[in-house]
Amino acid sequence: MAPDGSFVASYGGKNGGPELAEVNGVVLDSAGRMFIVDTDNFPWILDSGGEYITRLGPEIPGGYGYIAPPYLALTPDGKLYLPEAAPESNRVIVMQLLPPLWPPP
């Protein structure tokens, strides 16, 4: 919504992009790209116009298992923090984004 409360945009589903069910968290990088965690628990990355770039997971490279974060955080240096509170994991996964995902265009 705009500062005056008017509608600006909607992303995902019928408007293109991933089918989002229940968004739990969204963070933006300096280029306006959206990093989204949905109830499917995969981080989605959309460009500033809402177009699909990629999805991270569900399996983490290197044999670290599956990713299922309820929310996320992104630092200015491109680290993506993905906490998990599932009884079998209880961990925080830190992913360093690399080109072409980082740095922002």
| Domain edges within the chain | 17-96
Answer for the pair 33, 47: CB distance below 8 angstroms, yes or no: yes
Q: pLDDT of 91-102, one tens digit each?
A: 888 999 999 999
Res 17 pLDDT > 80: no
Specify the higher pLDDT residue, 78 or 49.
78
Which CATH number is associated with domain 17-96?
Answer: 2.40.10.500
Residues 6+ apart with CB under 8 A from 92: 81, 82, 83, 84
Q: pLDDT of 32-72, one tens digit each?
A: 999 998 877 678 899 988 888 988 877 777 777 777 788 89
The predicted pLDDT at position 14 comes to: 60
Q: What is the CA radius of gyration of the chain?
A: 14
Position 16 confidence tier, pLDDT thresholds 50, 70, 90: low
Res 27 pLDDT > 80: yes
pTM assigned to the model: 0.83
Residues 6+ apart with CB under 8 A from 79: 94, 95, 96, 97
Answer for the pair 95, 80: CB distance below 8 angstroms, yes or no: yes
